Amino acid sequence: MIAELVQQADLLGVTGRESFKPRPIHWLIDLDINGKALGVTATTTSSRITSKTGITEQRGKRFSTPVNYLLGSPNQHNWLPDFLTGPVDEIFSHGVDGANGVPKKRDDFWKLVSAARIALPDNSTINAVWHFLKSAERFIDLPLPQSAKDNLNWFRKGPTSEGETLGFRVNGVLAWKDRDLQIWWDTKIHPKIYAEQTAAFTSSGEDAFQSGEGEITRSSPCVFGNIPLVSFGGAPFCSYGLGDQTARLRLDTAEKSSAALNALRKSDSNSLNLGDETAVFWAVHKNRPVDCGFINLVESDDPLAVSDYLKSVWGAISRDLNHAQFHIAVLLAGTGRFSVRSWSSEFLGEVDRKLRSYFEAIRLPGNDPVNIGAMARCTIPKTKKSSKTQPTSTTYEALFESAWRGSRLPIRLLENITKRQSIEFSKGFSEKERFEFEARLRARAALSKLYFFSNHKIIMNETTHATDEHPAYLCGRVLAVLDSIHNKAHNKITASSPASRYYGSASSTPALVFPRLCKLARIHLDKIKDPNAANGLDHELTHLVAKFAKDAAWPRTLALEDQGRFAIGFYYERSRQHPEFSSTSDAAQQAAN
Protein backbone atom coordinates (compact mmCIF):
# COMPACT_ATOMS: atom_id res chain seq x y z
CA MET A 1 0.00 0.00 0.00
CA ILE A 2 2.87 2.39 0.80
CA ALA A 3 4.34 2.04 -2.70
CA GLU A 4 0.95 2.76 -4.32
CA LEU A 5 0.45 5.81 -2.10
CA VAL A 6 3.88 7.15 -3.04
CA GLN A 7 2.94 6.74 -6.71
CA GLN A 8 -0.37 8.52 -6.11
CA ALA A 9 1.43 11.40 -4.36
CA ASP A 10 3.66 11.84 -7.40
CA LEU A 11 0.60 11.84 -9.69
CA LEU A 12 -1.13 14.41 -7.48
CA GLY A 13 2.01 16.54 -7.24
CA VAL A 14 2.12 16.54 -3.43
CA THR A 15 5.13 15.96 -1.19
CA GLY A 16 3.70 16.35 2.31
CA ARG A 17 5.98 19.31 2.99
CA GLU A 18 3.68 21.99 1.53
CA SER A 19 3.26 25.16 3.53
CA PHE A 20 -0.23 25.71 2.07
CA LYS A 21 -2.82 22.94 1.86
CA PRO A 22 -6.55 22.77 1.09
CA ARG A 23 -8.72 22.65 4.17
CA PRO A 24 -12.37 23.48 4.89
CA ILE A 25 -13.19 26.86 6.44
CA HIS A 26 -16.72 26.91 7.80
CA TRP A 27 -17.10 30.53 8.98
CA LEU A 28 -15.50 33.89 8.23
CA ILE A 29 -15.16 36.65 10.83
CA ASP A 30 -15.50 39.93 8.92
CA LEU A 31 -13.34 42.74 10.28
CA ASP A 32 -12.90 46.36 9.31
CA ILE A 33 -9.42 47.85 8.93
CA ASN A 34 -9.33 48.64 12.69
CA GLY A 35 -10.16 45.09 13.74
CA LYS A 36 -13.81 45.69 14.63
CA ALA A 37 -16.05 42.67 14.04
CA LEU A 38 -18.72 43.42 11.44
CA GLY A 39 -20.28 39.97 11.27
CA VAL A 40 -19.79 36.22 11.02
CA THR A 41 -20.60 34.54 7.70
CA ALA A 42 -20.94 30.85 6.87
CA THR A 43 -19.02 29.60 3.85
CA THR A 44 -21.49 27.36 2.07
CA THR A 45 -20.64 25.24 -0.96
CA SER A 46 -23.87 23.32 -1.44
CA SER A 47 -27.27 22.41 -0.11
CA ARG A 48 -29.27 19.26 -0.56
CA ILE A 49 -32.97 18.46 -0.35
CA THR A 50 -34.19 15.39 1.52
CA SER A 51 -37.79 14.22 1.67
CA LYS A 52 -37.66 14.10 5.44
CA THR A 53 -35.86 17.24 6.53
CA GLY A 54 -36.23 19.55 3.55
CA ILE A 55 -33.23 21.70 2.61
CA THR A 56 -30.03 20.91 4.49
CA GLU A 57 -27.14 23.36 4.22
CA GLN A 58 -23.65 21.95 3.85
CA ARG A 59 -21.27 24.43 5.46
CA GLY A 60 -17.57 24.57 4.70
CA LYS A 61 -15.62 25.55 1.63
CA ARG A 62 -12.06 24.43 0.87
CA PHE A 63 -9.37 27.09 0.71
CA SER A 64 -5.62 26.83 0.33
CA THR A 65 -4.49 28.04 3.75
CA PRO A 66 -1.19 28.21 5.70
CA VAL A 67 -0.76 24.97 7.65
CA ASN A 68 1.88 23.72 10.06
CA TYR A 69 4.09 20.72 9.43
CA LEU A 70 3.15 18.03 11.94
CA LEU A 71 5.44 15.10 12.67
CA GLY A 72 4.00 12.53 15.05
CA SER A 73 7.07 12.40 17.29
CA PRO A 74 7.19 9.66 19.96
CA ASN A 75 6.53 10.78 23.52
CA GLN A 76 6.47 14.40 22.47
CA HIS A 77 3.60 16.85 22.29
CA ASN A 78 4.41 18.91 19.22
CA TRP A 79 1.08 20.48 18.38
CA LEU A 80 1.31 23.87 16.65
CA PRO A 81 -1.52 26.14 15.47
CA ASP A 82 -2.22 26.88 11.84
CA PHE A 83 -1.81 30.48 10.76
CA LEU A 84 -4.92 32.72 10.66
CA THR A 85 -7.43 29.84 10.75
CA GLY A 86 -8.59 27.50 13.50
CA PRO A 87 -11.47 26.37 15.72
CA VAL A 88 -13.05 28.64 18.33
CA ASP A 89 -11.23 27.23 21.36
CA GLU A 90 -7.83 27.95 19.75
CA ILE A 91 -8.65 31.59 19.01
CA PHE A 92 -10.82 32.99 21.82
CA SER A 93 -9.79 33.46 25.43
CA HIS A 94 -12.95 31.91 26.83
CA GLY A 95 -13.91 29.55 24.04
CA VAL A 96 -17.44 29.43 22.68
CA ASP A 97 -19.37 30.72 25.68
CA GLY A 98 -16.85 30.92 28.53
CA ALA A 99 -16.67 27.22 29.37
CA ASN A 100 -14.37 25.46 26.93
CA GLY A 101 -11.36 27.55 26.02
CA VAL A 102 -7.96 25.86 25.66
CA PRO A 103 -5.41 28.32 27.13
CA LYS A 104 -2.26 26.70 25.73
CA LYS A 105 -3.60 26.41 22.19
CA ARG A 106 -5.02 29.92 22.37
CA ASP A 107 -1.68 31.31 23.56
CA ASP A 108 0.19 29.52 20.74
CA PHE A 109 -2.24 30.89 18.14
CA TRP A 110 -1.85 34.43 19.49
CA LYS A 111 1.96 34.14 19.58
CA LEU A 112 1.98 33.24 15.89
CA VAL A 113 -0.17 36.27 15.02
CA SER A 114 2.04 38.44 17.23
CA ALA A 115 5.18 37.18 15.46
CA ALA A 116 3.67 38.09 12.09
CA ARG A 117 2.75 41.55 13.39
CA ILE A 118 6.31 42.14 14.64
CA ALA A 119 7.79 40.96 11.34
CA LEU A 120 5.34 43.07 9.27
CA PRO A 121 4.48 46.10 11.44
CA ASP A 122 2.90 48.03 8.54
CA ASN A 123 0.67 45.20 7.33
CA SER A 124 -2.93 46.35 7.85
CA THR A 125 -4.37 42.82 7.67
CA ILE A 126 -2.34 41.31 10.51
CA ASN A 127 -2.80 44.47 12.59
CA ALA A 128 -6.59 44.20 12.21
CA VAL A 129 -6.56 40.54 13.31
CA TRP A 130 -4.31 41.35 16.29
CA HIS A 131 -6.50 44.21 17.51
CA PHE A 132 -9.55 41.97 17.18
CA LEU A 133 -7.97 39.18 19.26
CA LYS A 134 -7.06 41.64 22.02
CA SER A 135 -10.60 43.00 22.23
CA ALA A 136 -12.79 39.90 21.73
CA GLU A 137 -12.94 37.51 24.69
CA ARG A 138 -15.94 35.33 23.88
CA PHE A 139 -17.06 33.94 20.57
CA ILE A 140 -20.70 34.18 21.66
CA ASP A 141 -20.38 37.97 21.94
CA LEU A 142 -19.76 38.33 18.19
CA PRO A 143 -22.58 39.45 15.86
CA LEU A 144 -23.46 35.85 15.00
CA PRO A 145 -26.25 34.85 12.63
CA GLN A 146 -29.26 33.28 14.34
CA SER A 147 -28.44 29.81 12.97
CA ALA A 148 -25.04 29.93 14.72
CA LYS A 149 -26.56 31.15 18.01
CA ASP A 150 -29.04 28.27 17.92
CA ASN A 151 -26.34 25.67 17.21
CA LEU A 152 -23.32 26.48 19.34
CA ASN A 153 -22.38 22.78 19.37
CA TRP A 154 -21.17 23.27 15.81
CA PHE A 155 -18.21 25.11 17.30
CA ARG A 156 -17.41 22.96 20.32
CA LYS A 157 -14.81 20.23 20.35
CA GLY A 158 -16.37 16.77 20.56
CA PRO A 159 -15.32 13.10 20.40
CA THR A 160 -15.32 13.12 16.58
CA SER A 161 -14.85 16.82 15.80
CA GLU A 162 -12.47 19.62 16.60
CA GLY A 163 -15.19 22.22 16.09
CA GLU A 164 -15.94 24.08 12.88
CA THR A 165 -13.05 26.13 11.56
CA LEU A 166 -12.96 29.94 11.51
CA GLY A 167 -10.99 32.30 9.28
CA PHE A 168 -10.65 36.08 9.03
CA ARG A 169 -11.71 38.43 6.27
CA VAL A 170 -10.33 41.96 6.60
CA ASN A 171 -11.90 44.79 4.61
CA GLY A 172 -13.48 42.22 2.27
CA VAL A 173 -10.25 40.27 1.59
CA LEU A 174 -9.38 36.84 3.04
CA ALA A 175 -6.57 37.36 5.55
CA TRP A 176 -4.49 34.36 4.42
CA LYS A 177 -4.56 35.67 0.83
CA ASP A 178 -2.48 38.71 1.81
CA ARG A 179 0.67 38.40 -0.30
CA ASP A 180 3.10 39.70 2.33
CA LEU A 181 1.72 37.29 4.94
CA GLN A 182 1.96 34.39 2.49
CA ILE A 183 5.63 35.15 1.73
CA TRP A 184 6.43 35.49 5.44
CA TRP A 185 4.83 32.12 6.19
CA ASP A 186 6.26 30.32 3.17
CA THR A 187 9.86 31.53 3.48
CA LYS A 188 10.43 32.31 7.16
CA ILE A 189 8.18 30.29 9.43
CA HIS A 190 7.27 27.04 7.69
CA PRO A 191 10.87 26.07 6.74
CA LYS A 192 11.96 26.75 10.31
CA ILE A 193 9.16 24.57 11.70
CA TYR A 194 10.02 21.76 9.27
CA ALA A 195 13.69 21.79 10.23
CA GLU A 196 12.91 21.77 13.95
CA GLN A 197 10.40 18.92 13.62
CA THR A 198 12.59 16.57 11.59
CA ALA A 199 16.14 17.23 12.81
CA ALA A 200 16.06 14.97 15.83
CA PHE A 201 14.34 12.00 14.18
CA THR A 202 16.26 11.22 10.98
CA SER A 203 19.38 9.45 9.78
CA SER A 204 20.64 8.48 6.31
CA GLY A 205 19.66 5.20 4.62
CA GLU A 206 17.42 3.29 2.19
CA ASP A 207 13.95 1.82 2.32
CA ALA A 208 12.04 -0.72 0.21
CA PHE A 209 9.67 1.77 -1.41
CA GLN A 210 11.88 4.23 -3.29
CA SER A 211 15.25 3.89 -4.98
CA GLY A 212 18.35 5.61 -3.65
CA GLU A 213 19.18 6.94 -0.22
CA GLY A 214 17.42 9.53 1.87
CA GLU A 215 16.64 10.50 5.45
CA ILE A 216 15.41 7.46 7.37
CA THR A 217 12.75 8.59 9.82
CA ARG A 218 12.01 7.39 13.32
CA SER A 219 8.76 9.33 13.36
CA SER A 220 5.92 9.87 10.94
CA PRO A 221 3.71 12.63 9.56
CA CYS A 222 0.07 12.46 10.60
CA VAL A 223 -3.15 11.37 8.95
CA PHE A 224 -6.75 11.70 10.17
CA GLY A 225 -5.76 15.04 11.67
CA ASN A 226 -3.29 14.03 14.37
CA ILE A 227 -2.57 10.29 14.12
CA PRO A 228 0.89 9.13 12.94
CA LEU A 229 0.74 7.07 9.76
CA VAL A 230 3.40 4.66 11.06
CA SER A 231 4.07 3.62 14.64
CA PHE A 232 7.75 3.08 15.41
CA GLY A 233 7.24 2.32 19.07
CA GLY A 234 6.58 -1.41 18.57
CA ALA A 235 7.92 -4.13 16.32
CA PRO A 236 5.76 -5.23 13.36
CA PHE A 237 7.61 -8.55 13.12
CA CYS A 238 10.22 -10.67 14.87
CA SER A 239 12.14 -13.46 13.12
CA TYR A 240 15.43 -15.31 12.67
CA GLY A 241 16.69 -14.37 16.10
CA LEU A 242 17.09 -10.73 15.09
CA GLY A 243 14.95 -9.47 17.94
CA ASP A 244 12.49 -6.63 17.60
CA GLN A 245 12.60 -5.20 14.09
CA THR A 246 10.99 -2.04 12.75
CA ALA A 247 10.65 -1.57 9.00
CA ARG A 248 12.91 1.20 7.65
CA LEU A 249 11.09 4.13 6.09
CA ARG A 250 12.50 7.21 4.44
CA LEU A 251 11.10 10.52 5.62
CA ASP A 252 9.99 11.54 2.14
CA THR A 253 8.28 8.14 1.74
CA ALA A 254 6.30 8.73 4.94
CA GLU A 255 5.54 12.31 3.90
CA LYS A 256 4.30 11.36 0.43
CA SER A 257 2.23 8.46 1.76
CA SER A 258 0.60 10.67 4.39
CA ALA A 259 -0.02 13.50 1.92
CA ALA A 260 -1.62 11.16 -0.64
CA LEU A 261 -3.77 9.48 2.01
CA ASN A 262 -4.93 12.83 3.42
CA ALA A 263 -5.72 14.14 -0.07
CA LEU A 264 -7.72 11.01 -0.92
CA ARG A 265 -9.61 11.08 2.36
CA LYS A 266 -10.59 14.71 1.89
CA SER A 267 -11.80 14.13 -1.67
CA ASP A 268 -15.51 13.45 -2.12
CA SER A 269 -14.64 11.32 -5.15
CA ASN A 270 -12.04 9.15 -3.41
CA SER A 271 -13.37 8.38 0.05
CA LEU A 272 -16.43 7.01 1.79
CA ASN A 273 -17.35 6.89 5.48
CA LEU A 274 -18.28 3.40 6.70
CA GLY A 275 -19.34 4.00 10.29
CA ASP A 276 -16.14 4.02 12.35
CA GLU A 277 -14.11 3.19 9.26
CA THR A 278 -13.16 5.09 6.14
CA ALA A 279 -12.60 3.66 2.67
CA VAL A 280 -10.19 5.47 0.36
CA PHE A 281 -9.84 4.42 -3.27
CA TRP A 282 -8.17 5.56 -6.45
CA ALA A 283 -7.40 4.29 -9.94
CA VAL A 284 -4.34 4.63 -12.17
CA HIS A 285 -3.82 3.84 -15.85
CA LYS A 286 -0.55 4.40 -17.71
CA ASN A 287 0.73 6.69 -14.92
CA ARG A 288 -2.38 8.86 -15.06
CA PRO A 289 -5.10 9.12 -12.40
CA VAL A 290 -8.53 7.83 -13.46
CA ASP A 291 -11.82 9.07 -12.04
CA CYS A 292 -13.50 6.38 -9.94
CA GLY A 293 -15.96 8.60 -8.08
CA PHE A 294 -18.84 6.33 -9.11
CA ILE A 295 -17.94 4.15 -6.10
CA ASN A 296 -19.57 6.78 -3.86
CA LEU A 297 -22.94 6.07 -5.49
CA VAL A 298 -23.40 3.20 -3.03
CA GLU A 299 -24.14 5.92 -0.43
CA SER A 300 -26.15 8.17 -2.77
CA ASP A 301 -29.76 9.26 -2.26
CA ASP A 302 -29.98 10.67 -5.78
CA PRO A 303 -31.86 8.34 -8.17
CA LEU A 304 -30.83 10.43 -11.20
CA ALA A 305 -27.13 10.08 -10.39
CA VAL A 306 -27.46 6.30 -10.11
CA SER A 307 -29.56 6.15 -13.28
CA ASP A 308 -27.03 8.22 -15.24
CA TYR A 309 -24.23 5.94 -14.09
CA LEU A 310 -26.09 2.77 -15.10
CA LYS A 311 -26.79 4.20 -18.56
CA SER A 312 -23.10 4.92 -19.22
CA VAL A 313 -20.79 2.34 -20.79
CA TRP A 314 -17.06 2.14 -20.08
CA GLY A 315 -16.30 0.93 -23.59
CA ALA A 316 -17.85 4.06 -25.09
CA ILE A 317 -15.16 6.11 -23.33
CA SER A 318 -12.06 3.96 -23.64
CA ARG A 319 -11.51 0.24 -23.61
CA ASP A 320 -8.23 0.81 -21.83
CA LEU A 321 -10.10 1.93 -18.72
CA ASN A 322 -11.11 -1.68 -18.18
CA HIS A 323 -7.43 -2.31 -17.43
CA ALA A 324 -6.93 0.65 -15.10
CA GLN A 325 -5.60 -0.47 -11.72
CA PHE A 326 -8.05 0.18 -8.88
CA HIS A 327 -6.74 0.40 -5.30
CA ILE A 328 -8.85 0.52 -2.16
CA ALA A 329 -8.00 0.60 1.55
CA VAL A 330 -10.43 0.43 4.46
CA LEU A 331 -8.94 2.33 7.39
CA LEU A 332 -9.73 2.67 11.06
CA ALA A 333 -8.68 5.75 13.01
CA GLY A 334 -8.60 4.88 16.70
CA THR A 335 -8.01 7.19 19.64
CA GLY A 336 -4.28 7.28 18.97
CA ARG A 337 -3.39 4.63 16.45
CA PHE A 338 -3.90 4.27 12.71
CA SER A 339 -4.70 0.83 11.27
CA VAL A 340 -5.53 -0.71 7.91
CA ARG A 341 -8.51 -3.07 8.05
CA SER A 342 -8.22 -4.24 4.45
CA TRP A 343 -6.21 -3.51 1.31
CA SER A 344 -7.12 -4.65 -2.21
CA SER A 345 -6.24 -4.04 -5.84
CA GLU A 346 -8.48 -4.83 -8.80
CA PHE A 347 -9.07 -3.82 -12.42
CA LEU A 348 -11.43 -0.85 -12.61
CA GLY A 349 -13.51 -2.45 -15.38
CA GLU A 350 -14.22 -5.43 -13.15
CA VAL A 351 -15.25 -3.15 -10.28
CA ASP A 352 -17.59 -1.31 -12.64
CA ARG A 353 -19.21 -4.59 -13.73
CA LYS A 354 -19.76 -5.77 -10.17
CA LEU A 355 -21.16 -2.42 -9.06
CA ARG A 356 -23.71 -2.41 -11.89
CA SER A 357 -24.82 -5.91 -10.85
CA TYR A 358 -25.13 -4.67 -7.26
CA PHE A 359 -27.46 -1.81 -8.23
CA GLU A 360 -29.57 -4.17 -10.32
CA ALA A 361 -29.79 -6.62 -7.41
CA ILE A 362 -31.04 -4.07 -4.85
CA ARG A 363 -33.36 -2.13 -7.20
CA LEU A 364 -36.88 -1.75 -5.77
CA PRO A 365 -40.16 -0.40 -7.20
CA GLY A 366 -39.95 3.37 -7.65
CA ASN A 367 -36.23 3.25 -8.56
CA ASP A 368 -35.18 5.39 -5.56
CA PRO A 369 -31.81 3.95 -4.50
CA VAL A 370 -31.29 2.42 -1.06
CA ASN A 371 -27.79 3.30 0.12
CA ILE A 372 -25.55 1.14 2.28
CA GLY A 373 -26.01 3.49 5.24
CA ALA A 374 -29.78 2.83 5.24
CA MET A 375 -29.20 -0.91 4.90
CA ALA A 376 -26.72 -0.87 7.78
CA ARG A 377 -29.06 1.10 10.05
CA CYS A 378 -32.02 -1.19 9.39
CA THR A 379 -30.13 -4.06 11.05
CA ILE A 380 -30.21 -2.43 14.50
CA PRO A 381 -33.11 -1.32 16.71
CA LYS A 382 -34.65 2.05 15.92
CA THR A 383 -33.17 4.48 18.42
CA LYS A 384 -33.77 8.04 19.49
CA LYS A 385 -31.74 10.73 17.76
CA SER A 386 -29.84 11.34 20.98
CA SER A 387 -28.73 7.70 21.18
CA LYS A 388 -25.17 6.85 20.20
CA THR A 389 -26.07 3.32 19.04
CA GLN A 390 -24.79 2.84 15.50
CA PRO A 391 -24.33 -0.12 13.15
CA THR A 392 -21.05 -1.93 13.61
CA SER A 393 -18.11 -1.31 11.32
CA THR A 394 -18.25 -4.95 10.20
CA THR A 395 -21.81 -4.40 8.94
CA TYR A 396 -20.79 -1.38 6.87
CA GLU A 397 -17.72 -3.20 5.60
CA ALA A 398 -19.70 -6.33 4.60
CA LEU A 399 -22.20 -4.24 2.60
CA PHE A 400 -19.47 -2.21 0.92
CA GLU A 401 -17.43 -5.31 0.03
CA SER A 402 -20.54 -6.91 -1.45
CA ALA A 403 -21.18 -3.81 -3.57
CA TRP A 404 -17.79 -3.28 -5.22
CA ARG A 405 -16.20 -6.69 -4.89
CA GLY A 406 -19.21 -9.00 -5.08
CA SER A 407 -18.42 -10.61 -1.72
CA ARG A 408 -21.02 -12.76 0.01
CA LEU A 409 -23.11 -11.17 2.72
CA PRO A 410 -22.94 -12.97 6.07
CA ILE A 411 -26.16 -14.68 7.06
CA ARG A 412 -26.12 -12.81 10.39
CA LEU A 413 -27.33 -9.68 8.54
CA LEU A 414 -30.33 -11.58 7.19
CA GLU A 415 -31.01 -12.88 10.68
CA ASN A 416 -30.82 -9.36 12.13
CA ILE A 417 -33.32 -7.85 9.72
CA THR A 418 -35.85 -10.70 9.96
CA LYS A 419 -35.87 -10.33 13.75
CA ARG A 420 -36.13 -6.53 13.57
CA GLN A 421 -38.96 -6.72 11.04
CA SER A 422 -41.04 -9.00 13.26
CA ILE A 423 -40.44 -6.89 16.37
CA GLU A 424 -41.27 -3.57 14.71
CA PHE A 425 -44.47 -4.88 13.14
CA SER A 426 -45.61 -6.22 16.53
CA LYS A 427 -44.90 -2.91 18.29
CA GLY A 428 -46.88 -0.87 15.80
CA PHE A 429 -46.25 2.74 14.93
CA SER A 430 -48.05 6.07 14.78
CA GLU A 431 -48.76 8.11 11.68
CA LYS A 432 -45.75 10.29 12.53
CA GLU A 433 -43.54 7.21 12.60
CA ARG A 434 -44.86 5.79 9.35
CA PHE A 435 -42.26 7.50 7.13
CA GLU A 436 -39.34 6.06 9.08
CA PHE A 437 -40.97 2.63 9.26
CA GLU A 438 -41.55 2.51 5.51
CA ALA A 439 -37.93 3.55 4.90
CA ARG A 440 -36.64 0.73 7.12
CA LEU A 441 -39.00 -1.74 5.45
CA ARG A 442 -37.63 -0.69 2.08
CA ALA A 443 -34.02 -0.95 3.25
CA ARG A 444 -34.61 -4.46 4.63
CA ALA A 445 -36.15 -5.57 1.36
CA ALA A 446 -33.08 -4.29 -0.51
CA LEU A 447 -30.70 -5.98 1.94
CA SER A 448 -32.61 -9.29 1.62
CA LYS A 449 -32.39 -9.07 -2.16
CA LEU A 450 -28.65 -8.36 -1.92
CA TYR A 451 -28.19 -11.43 0.29
CA PHE A 452 -29.77 -13.76 -2.26
CA PHE A 453 -27.81 -12.18 -5.10
CA SER A 454 -24.43 -12.25 -3.34
CA ASN A 455 -24.83 -15.77 -1.99
CA HIS A 456 -26.94 -17.53 -4.65
CA LYS A 457 -26.83 -15.22 -7.70
CA ILE A 458 -30.62 -14.89 -7.57
CA ILE A 459 -32.18 -11.59 -8.67
CA MET A 460 -35.70 -10.86 -7.44
CA ASN A 461 -37.57 -7.98 -9.07
CA GLU A 462 -40.94 -7.01 -10.58
CA THR A 463 -40.46 -9.48 -13.43
CA THR A 464 -39.72 -12.49 -11.25
CA HIS A 465 -42.38 -11.48 -8.70
CA ALA A 466 -45.21 -12.78 -10.85
CA THR A 467 -43.55 -16.11 -11.59
CA ASP A 468 -41.81 -16.93 -8.29
CA GLU A 469 -43.67 -19.92 -6.83
CA HIS A 470 -41.38 -20.67 -3.90
CA PRO A 471 -43.74 -21.44 -0.95
CA ALA A 472 -42.02 -18.91 1.34
CA TYR A 473 -42.23 -16.15 -1.29
CA LEU A 474 -45.93 -16.95 -1.89
CA CYS A 475 -46.62 -16.83 1.86
CA GLY A 476 -45.21 -13.32 1.98
CA ARG A 477 -47.48 -12.30 -0.91
CA VAL A 478 -50.52 -13.81 0.81
CA LEU A 479 -49.88 -11.87 4.04
CA ALA A 480 -49.59 -8.63 2.04
CA VAL A 481 -52.96 -9.29 0.32
CA LEU A 482 -54.60 -10.17 3.66
CA ASP A 483 -53.24 -6.93 5.06
CA SER A 484 -54.67 -4.96 2.12
CA ILE A 485 -58.08 -6.59 2.61
CA HIS A 486 -58.12 -5.72 6.30
CA ASN A 487 -57.01 -2.11 5.74
CA LYS A 488 -59.49 -1.61 2.88
CA ALA A 489 -62.30 -2.85 5.10
CA HIS A 490 -61.37 -0.36 7.82
CA ASN A 491 -60.44 2.49 5.42
CA LYS A 492 -57.08 2.85 7.16
CA ILE A 493 -54.07 0.96 8.49
CA THR A 494 -54.78 -0.31 12.00
CA ALA A 495 -52.71 -1.89 14.75
CA SER A 496 -54.78 -5.08 14.44
CA SER A 497 -54.00 -5.74 10.78
CA PRO A 498 -52.65 -9.22 9.92
CA ALA A 499 -49.14 -7.90 9.30
CA SER A 500 -49.08 -5.91 12.55
CA ARG A 501 -50.28 -8.85 14.65
CA TYR A 502 -48.97 -11.92 12.89
CA TYR A 503 -45.93 -11.01 10.77
CA GLY A 504 -43.49 -12.88 13.02
CA SER A 505 -45.48 -16.10 13.24
CA ALA A 506 -46.61 -15.94 9.60
CA SER A 507 -42.99 -15.71 8.44
CA SER A 508 -41.80 -18.59 10.64
CA THR A 509 -44.78 -20.97 11.09
CA PRO A 510 -47.25 -20.28 8.22
CA ALA A 511 -49.35 -23.41 8.79
CA LEU A 512 -50.38 -22.17 12.25
CA VAL A 513 -51.49 -18.76 11.05
CA PHE A 514 -52.76 -18.62 7.48
CA PRO A 515 -55.81 -20.93 7.70
CA ARG A 516 -57.33 -18.71 10.39
CA LEU A 517 -56.38 -15.47 8.65
CA CYS A 518 -57.95 -16.65 5.38
CA LYS A 519 -61.23 -17.32 7.20
CA LEU A 520 -61.16 -13.83 8.72
CA ALA A 521 -60.49 -12.38 5.27
CA ARG A 522 -63.96 -13.50 4.10
CA ILE A 523 -65.50 -11.33 6.85
CA HIS A 524 -63.36 -8.32 5.91
CA LEU A 525 -64.12 -8.69 2.19
CA ASP A 526 -67.84 -8.39 3.00
CA LYS A 527 -67.15 -5.09 4.82
CA ILE A 528 -65.47 -3.43 1.83
CA LYS A 529 -67.96 -0.94 0.42
CA ASP A 530 -66.42 -0.75 -3.04
CA PRO A 531 -67.46 -3.99 -4.81
CA ASN A 532 -64.85 -3.60 -7.55
CA ALA A 533 -62.04 -3.33 -4.99
CA ALA A 534 -63.46 -6.27 -3.03
CA ASN A 535 -63.67 -8.44 -6.14
CA GLY A 536 -60.10 -7.56 -7.13
CA LEU A 537 -58.67 -8.42 -3.70
CA ASP A 538 -60.79 -11.58 -3.52
CA HIS A 539 -59.39 -12.70 -6.85
CA GLU A 540 -55.78 -12.00 -5.78
CA LEU A 541 -56.18 -13.98 -2.56
CA THR A 542 -57.94 -16.90 -4.28
CA HIS A 543 -55.33 -17.01 -7.01
CA LEU A 544 -52.43 -17.12 -4.52
CA VAL A 545 -54.00 -19.63 -2.13
CA ALA A 546 -54.75 -21.94 -5.08
CA LYS A 547 -51.01 -22.25 -5.68
CA PHE A 548 -50.70 -24.16 -2.41
CA ALA A 549 -53.17 -26.81 -3.62
CA LYS A 550 -50.28 -28.66 -5.30
CA ASP A 551 -48.92 -29.67 -1.88
CA ALA A 552 -52.29 -29.45 -0.15
CA ALA A 553 -50.76 -27.66 2.82
CA TRP A 554 -49.15 -24.47 4.03
CA PRO A 555 -45.46 -24.84 4.98
CA ARG A 556 -45.15 -25.92 8.60
CA THR A 557 -41.98 -23.86 9.26
CA LEU A 558 -39.72 -21.55 7.30
CA ALA A 559 -35.94 -21.59 7.68
CA LEU A 560 -33.99 -18.33 7.98
CA GLU A 561 -33.30 -17.93 4.25
CA ASP A 562 -36.94 -18.71 3.50
CA GLN A 563 -37.96 -15.95 5.92
CA GLY A 564 -35.86 -13.63 3.74
CA ARG A 565 -37.82 -14.79 0.68
CA PHE A 566 -41.03 -14.19 2.66
CA ALA A 567 -39.96 -10.59 3.39
CA ILE A 568 -39.23 -9.88 -0.28
CA GLY A 569 -42.52 -11.38 -1.46
CA PHE A 570 -44.38 -9.39 1.19
CA TYR A 571 -42.69 -6.13 0.17
CA TYR A 572 -43.28 -6.52 -3.57
CA GLU A 573 -46.92 -7.55 -3.14
CA ARG A 574 -47.46 -4.68 -0.71
CA SER A 575 -46.06 -2.28 -3.31
CA ARG A 576 -48.36 -3.49 -6.08
CA GLN A 577 -51.54 -1.78 -7.21
CA HIS A 578 -54.10 -4.56 -7.06
CA PRO A 579 -56.51 -4.64 -10.04
CA GLU A 580 -60.18 -3.93 -9.53
CA PHE A 581 -62.81 -6.17 -11.10
CA SER A 582 -66.47 -5.37 -11.72
CA SER A 583 -67.57 -8.99 -11.40
CA THR A 584 -66.21 -12.44 -10.69
CA SER A 585 -66.49 -13.36 -14.37
CA ASP A 586 -64.32 -10.36 -15.31
CA ALA A 587 -61.89 -11.41 -12.64
CA ALA A 588 -61.54 -14.86 -14.17
CA GLN A 589 -60.87 -13.35 -17.59
CA GLN A 590 -58.31 -10.86 -16.28
CA ALA A 591 -56.46 -13.28 -14.01
CA ALA A 592 -52.93 -12.01 -13.36
CA ASN A 593 -50.11 -13.37 -11.27
Cα–Cα distance measured from residue 184 to residue 191, given in angstroms and rounded to the nearest whole number: 10
List of residues 6+ apart from 525 with CB closer than 8 A: 485, 489, 534, 537, 538
Is 584 in the same domain as 444? Answer: no
Percent share of the chain, pLDDT over 70: 85
Is 305 in the same domain as 421? Answer: yes
Average pLDDT over residues 154-169: 83
Q: Which of 452, 485, 510 is the last residue of a domain?
A: 452
Phi, psi values for residue 280, rounded to 5°: -120, 140
Domain count, the chain: 3
Average pLDDT over residues 258-282: 90
Cα–Cα distance measured from residue 573 to residue 543, given in angstroms and rounded to the nearest whole number: 13
- Comparing 380 with 336, the larger pLDDT belongs to 380
Report the predicted TM-score, pTM, of the whole model to 2 decimal places: 0.82
Is 173 in the same domain as 111? Answer: yes
14-23, 147-156, 177-186: which is most confident: 177-186
Cα–Cα distance measured from residue 353 to residue 294, given in angstroms and rounded to the nearest whole number: 12
Exposed, middle or buried by CB within 10 Å (0-12, 13-18, 19+), for 75?
exposed
Is 339 in the same domain as 474? Answer: no
Whether 417 is covered by a domain: the verdict is yes
Domain range enclosing 33: 2-216
Is 407 in the same domain as 532? Answer: no
What would the pLDDT profile of 66-77 be if each residue is shown by its tens digit? 998 888 765 556
Round the average pLDDT of the chain to a whole number and report it.
Answer: 85
- φ/ψ bin of 318: left (φ > 0), alpha (ψ from -120 to 50), beta (otherwise): beta
Strands 220-223 and 214-217: unpaired
Cα–Cα distance measured from residue 21 to residue 18, given in angstroms and rounded to the nearest whole number: 7
Q: What is the pLDDT of residue 402?
A: 95
Whether 259 is covered by a domain: the verdict is no
Decide if 449 contacts 361 (C-beta within 8 A). yes
Q: What is the pLDDT of residue 209?
A: 87
Q: What is the pLDDT of residue 335?
A: 59
Is 439 in the same domain as 542? Answer: no
Is 429 in the same domain as 481? Answer: no
Average pLDDT over residues 317-341: 78
- φ/ψ bin of 392: left (φ > 0), alpha (ψ from -120 to 50), beta (otherwise): beta
Is 381 in the same domain as 488? Answer: no
Q: What is the SS3 assignment for 186-247?
A: HHHHHHHHHHHHHHHHEEEECCCCCCCCEEEECCEEEECCCEECCCCCCCCEECCCCCEECC
Is 97 in the same domain as 194? Answer: yes
Maximum pairwise Cα distance, the chain = 96
Is 447 in the same domain as 466? Answer: no
Decide if 275 contacts 341 (C-beta within 8 A). no
Is 366 in the same domain as 474? Answer: no
| Three-state SS at 2 | helix
Is 510 in the same domain as 436? Answer: no
